[in-house]
Amino acid sequence: MAVPANAFLYLTEHGNVVVQGEPLITGLASAPPFDEAALVAALRADQAGETAFPDFVRGCWDAGVVWYDVDTTARTRACYGADGGSYTEDYPSVTLP
């Protein structure tokens, strides 16, 4: 996901799909510095169901994340800042009823 653009690219075995959300910023803006603690707080609030997805994306941007990748096969999310900072976490496998 390109966070400031709020643009998603899903690469799947059934075809690739692009979803363009409402951009978080327009025009020229400075990218916030990467803040791992703020990112983890945004992730945990989202995982606990305390925020809606647009709030989560805004939290990522405020934490300095400009791009993140989710790998559903490896069950990881890697978040990247413009200044070279990054954070990766694993997700446990989930079995649906």
Name the nearest CA neighbour of 1 among 74, 73, 53: 53
Tell me how many degrees the CA angle 31-16-26 measures, rounded to the nearest 5: 25
Name the nearest CA neighbour of 40 among 88, 85, 72, 75: 88
With 0-12 / 13-18 / 19 or more C-beta atoms within 10 angstroms meaning exposed / middle / buried, residue 20 is exposed
What's the pTM? 0.88
Confidence band, pLDDT 50/70/90 cuts, at residue 95: confident
Contact present, 25 and 57 (Cβ < 8 Å): no
- Tens of pLDDT, residues 63-92: 999 999 999 889 999 999 999 999 999 988
